Chains A and B, each alone.
Chain A
Amino acid sequence: MSGAATTADPIAVRDNRATAIQVALWGSLAIFAVLILFGAFTTDGFLTTTNVKAILSSVAFVGMIAVGTALIMISGNLFSLAVGSTAAACAMSFLALLPDGIVLAIVATIALGAVLGLIQGLLVGGIGANPIIVTIGAASLIQGVALWASSGATLVPPKGDTSYEWLNGHILTIPVPVYILFGAVILLDLLLRRSRFGRQLKLVGENREAARAAGLPTTWIITGAFVLAGVFTAIAGVELGAFNESGSLLIEGNLTYDAIAAAVVGGVAITGGRGTVWQALGGAILIAVISDILLLRDYSEGVQILVKGVIVFAVVILTRLNRMRLES
């Protein structure tokens, strides 16, 4: 079998490399899974219904933002540092609009997320502005507007309003946001694999200039990725507003880093072109489980952030080493 992989047959070499990538990926995933499982089963209180529900809720929020982040990454524009602020602002907008009816509150909030994504996407996709800088600037602007509009107050739902309670409900003991997340992932996966937009998104992420030279509307494809990311972040914002029953900029917490870490750890290529929303979901589950284990074992907030950072570090270095070995 290895005889086929002589240098004379580039296709066979490429196939072998692809196999090697697969083996390396699955190998490291398996080792990691074993470590996590060990940690999980030796931690008191991990395998309780309440805890599993807590993990699922956390996955639902972070996962929703992570799949949006994955789209930005696949488009070759790294990640957005504004997703946490966007989610917080959307939670606030949802709660502020609740008195006008839940349908309006949800629709307007999702539209808000889309517009925020549209503006950032046009800057990044249209004139090639750096996505990191645009999104930290946007985060600052979003926080400013949110502070101004709320006069710095924490928003709460109207007294006696139960119209949003279904968002905190359970179907077959699984929280509603989990169903919404799975629906979103299936939809986005179809969009990425079956639609022209999805294929073009990967091409743009692989090589933006080549895609442009080939006549693809790169501006609109990248903008599309940012708009979708804005929409899914806004949905997470709605869920977070309903879940916390209060909305302020503090909701941001670690959401931004968790979502980025989830997409990176899931194996979405930070340099663009490769990755699926399922991977981002897997990453979100992993990050949620690790956070949960650390929380149950009473590790400090510092350790929790540090562990995520080290995992991101490890994943990006391993991915790079793997690529270098295969390229040499």
Chain B
Amino acid sequence: MSARLPSFFRYRGTTARPFVILAAFAIAFALLPTYASGEVGSANVFNVFQALSGIGLVALALGLTMIIGEYDLSVSSTYLLGGMLAVKTGGDSPFLGVVVAVAAGLLVGFIQGFLVAKLRMSSMPVTLGGFISLLGLVFLISNSKSVNYSDLSVSIWLNDPVMSIFSARSLIAIAIFLIAAAIFAFTWLGRDVRAVGSDREASRTAGVRVDSIIIGTFMSSAAISCFSGALLSYSLAYATPNRTVAPLVFATTMALLGGVSLSGGRGFPLGIAAGAISLSLLNEGMAVTAAQPYVTYLVTGGLLVVVTIIDAPHLLRWWKTVKARNNIGFRGGSGQLATTKAGDR
């Protein structure tokens, strides 16, 4: 491959897409005061990076499973679970709370990954079970109520601005993204992970330890998701149980904007970071203009549907069929399509 970009940023020809999208969102955001009412400043950039440490990390977690050609529905529950466990067990030592949250994530990820790898199950039914069970667990340990975290100094430490646009929390998230990016760029792991996502059987034949990669990916995914939940709950100083699949909507949109494909084999951590920042900029834009809650629902849902359509495997086939039909002057009945030559009118 050519050396147009350093390997840190490069993956096939699609590398640039997430960054182009990010640039477009950033320009639209910076120019916001020119076409809408609202001020844009460093506080907004601060918020965008804060979001990177919350839902952005969930996007990384989900994106990793999407790169190996799976989909971890349970991230929205592990996100809640991590926060709830951290708040419940971190009363004396916030560090202990994080350890418990991450350990729970590793365990959940191991169970789900084991079922997907060893029993060759599809990740959808497995993570559906995980999603509902863990949601129940969150409601169970919280007794269906919000739980407060008494040590406010942790929240202050995490959220205190650093260089006016960062915080300890967002710097931790950026570090995790950079570590993941380095692993993808400089070790065999990144190559193997994508290989498993592209063609599992071929990878197996080529000597890739497919099962270990799958289990490892699910463990990292759930652990990252739990960790970001813990960070969020500490920074809010409370954890709350709810049934919303909003984290799933945001994280999936971020991953797809970031160049990950649902069919697997494509994507890289910095792209996911770019996708996460893009969507966070959009959300921040809606916050700045004081958009109604329904606008947020419509924009995020609409954007997800649009990126899903672009990512859909048969979009091209559908478009070719439409074009072919127009060419032959489609006269009804699909049989005609097969027997009539293009251009025959």
Measuring CB to CB, which residues of chain A are less than 8 angstroms from any residue of chain B? Answer: 78-79, 81, 123, 126-130, 132-134, 136-145, 147-148, 152, 215, 217, 252-254, 257, 260-261, 264, 270-271, 300-310, 312-313, 316-317, 320-321, 324
Q: Does B128 contact A (CB under 8 A)?
A: yes
Measured CB to CB, the closest approach of chain A to B303, in angstroms, equals 8
Q: Chain A residues with Cβ under 8 A from B311's Cβ?
A: 129-130
Task: Report yes or no: B115 in contact with A317, Cβ–Cβ below 8 A.
Answer: yes
Partner of B245 from the list A81, A142, A271, A312 (CB cut-off 8 Å) is A81
Task: Report yes or no: B132 in contact with A257, Cβ–Cβ below 8 A.
Answer: yes
Partner of A140 from the list B134, B140, B301 (CB cut-off 8 Å) is B301
Q: Does B144 contact A (CB under 8 A)?
A: yes
Task: Report yes or no: A306 in contact with B298, Cβ–Cβ below 8 A.
Answer: no
Q: Does B209 contact A (CB under 8 A)?
A: no
Task: Report yes or no: A141 in contact with B305, Cβ–Cβ below 8 A.
Answer: yes
Q: With A129-B312, A305-B136 as given contacts, are A270 and B125 in contact (CB-CB < 8 Å)?
A: yes
Task: Report yes or no: B122 in contact with A271, Cβ–Cβ below 8 A.
Answer: yes
Partner of B308 from the list A129, A152, A324 (CB cut-off 8 Å) is A129
Nearest B residue to A129 by beta-carbon distance? B312
Task: Report yes or no: B294 in contact with A309, Cβ–Cβ below 8 A.
Answer: no
Q: Chain B residues with Cβ under 8 A from A271's Cβ?
A: 122, 125
When each residue 296-318 of chain B gets 1 if its CB lies under 8 Å from chain A and 0 otherwise, what string results?
11101110110011011111011
Task: Report yes or no: B139 in contact with A305, Cβ–Cβ below 8 A.
Answer: yes
Nearest A residue to B133 by beta-carbon distance? A309
Once the chains are docked, how many angstroms separate the CA of A257 from the CA of B244? 12
When each residue 115-131 of chain B gets 1 if its CB lies under 8 Å from chain A and 0 otherwise, what string results?
10001111011101111
Task: Report yes or no: A306 in contact with B136, Cβ–Cβ below 8 A.
Answer: yes
Q: With A302-B136, A302-B137, A316-B121 as given contacts, are A141 and B314 in contact (CB-CB < 8 Å)?
A: no
Partner of A324 from the list B119, B137, B295 (CB cut-off 8 Å) is B119
Task: Apart from A140-B304, A309-B135, A316-B126, list 16 A-B contacts with CB within 8 A.
Answer: A127-B309, A132-B73, A136-B245, A139-B301, A140-B246, A140-B297, A141-B301, A145-B294, A148-B298, A264-B128, A300-B139, A300-B143, A302-B142, A305-B139, A313-B130, A324-B120
Q: Does B252 contact A (CB under 8 A)?
A: yes
Q: Chain A residues with Cβ under 8 A from B128's Cβ?
A: 79, 260, 264, 270, 312, 316
Q: Chain B residues with Cβ under 8 A from A144's Cβ?
A: 294-298, 301
Q: Chain B residues with Cβ under 8 A from A270's Cβ?
A: 122, 124-125, 128
Measured CB to CB, the closest approach of chain B to A204, in angstroms, equals 14
Q: Which of A140, A147, A217 has the most chain B CB atoms closer than 10 A to its own CB?
A: A140
Task: Report yes or no: A301 in contact with B139, Cβ–Cβ below 8 A.
Answer: yes
Q: Chain B residues with Cβ under 8 A from A308's Cβ?
A: 132, 136
Q: Does B138 contact A (CB under 8 A)?
A: yes
Task: Report yes or no: B301 in contact with A138, Cβ–Cβ below 8 A.
Answer: yes
Task: Report yes or no: A126 in contact with B314, Cβ–Cβ below 8 A.
Answer: yes
Q: Which of B120, B141, B304, B311 has the most chain A CB atoms closer than 10 A to its own CB?
A: B304
Q: Chain B residues with Cβ under 8 A from A134's Cβ?
A: 305, 308
Nearest B residue to A317 by beta-carbon distance? B115
10 tightest A-B contacts by CB?
Answer: A306-B136, A302-B140, A140-B301, A309-B133, A144-B297, A309-B132, A305-B136, A313-B129, A302-B139, A128-B314
Measured CB to CB, the closest approach of chain B to A327, in angstroms, equals 10
Q: Can you list 26 A-B pairs, Cβ within 8 angstroms, ordered by A?
A: A123-B305, A127-B317, A128-B312, A130-B308, A133-B262, A133-B304, A134-B308, A139-B245, A140-B249, A140-B298, A140-B301, A143-B294, A147-B292, A148-B292, A148-B298, A152-B294, A300-B144, A302-B141, A302-B142, A306-B137, A306-B139, A306-B140, A307-B136, A309-B134, A312-B129, A317-B129
Measured CB to CB, the closest approach of chain A to B66, in angstroms, equals 10
Measured CB to CB, the closest approach of chain A to B318, in angstroms, equals 5
Q: With A140-B300, A145-B298 as given contacts, are A304 and B136 in contact (CB-CB < 8 Å)?
A: yes
Considering only residues 290-345 of chain B, those with a C-beta below 8 Å from chain A are: 292-298, 300-302, 304-305, 308-309, 311-315, 317-318, 334
Q: Which of A78, A79, A130, A139 has the most chain B CB atoms closer than 10 A to its own CB?
A: A130
Q: Chain A residues with Cβ under 8 A from B158's Cβ?
A: none
Q: Chain B residues with Cβ under 8 A from A126's Cβ?
A: 314, 318
Q: Chain B residues with Cβ under 8 A from A129's Cβ?
A: 308-309, 311-312
Q: Chain B residues with Cβ under 8 A from A303's Cβ?
A: 136, 140
Q: Chain A residues with Cβ under 8 A from B314's Cβ?
A: 126-128
Q: Does B243 contact A (CB under 8 A)?
A: yes
Once the chains are docked, how many angstroms separate the CA of A140 from the CA of B241? 19
Measured CB to CB, the closest approach of chain A to B210, in angstroms, equals 17
Q: Chain B residues with Cβ under 8 A from A123's Cβ?
A: 305, 308-309, 312
Once the chains are docked, how many angstroms separate the CA of A140 from the CA of B295? 10
Once the chains are docked, how many angstroms separate the CA of A52 from the CA of B130? 31
Nearest A residue to B119 by beta-carbon distance? A320
Task: Report yes or no: B132 in contact with A148, Cβ–Cβ below 8 A.
Answer: no
Task: Report yes or no: A264 in contact with B125, Cβ–Cβ below 8 A.
Answer: yes
Task: Report yes or no: B131 in contact with A309, Cβ–Cβ below 8 A.
Answer: yes
Task: Report yes or no: A133 in contact with B142, Cβ–Cβ below 8 A.
Answer: no
Task: Report yes or no: B119 in contact with A317, Cβ–Cβ below 8 A.
Answer: yes
Q: Chain A residues with Cβ under 8 A from B129's Cβ?
A: 309-310, 312-313, 316-317
Once the chains are docked, how many angstroms separate the CA of A322 from the CA of B300? 41
When each residue 235-255 of chain B gets 1 if its CB lies under 8 Å from chain A and 0 otherwise, what string results?
000000101011011001000
Q: Does B218 contact A (CB under 8 A)?
A: no
Once the chains are docked, how many angstroms separate the CA of A74 from the CA of B141? 36
Once the chains are docked, how many angstroms separate the CA of A112 from the CA of B133? 32
Q: Does B71 contact A (CB under 8 A)?
A: yes
Nearest A residue to B140 by beta-carbon distance? A302
Partner of A141 from the list B140, B293, B298 (CB cut-off 8 Å) is B298
Nearest B residue to A133 by beta-carbon distance? B308
Once the chains are docked, how many angstroms separate the CA of A28 from the CA of B293? 47
Once the chains are docked, how many angstroms separate the CA of A20 from the CA of B125? 23
Q: With A132-B73, A137-B249, A309-B131 as given contacts, are A143 and B119 in contact (CB-CB < 8 Å)?
A: no
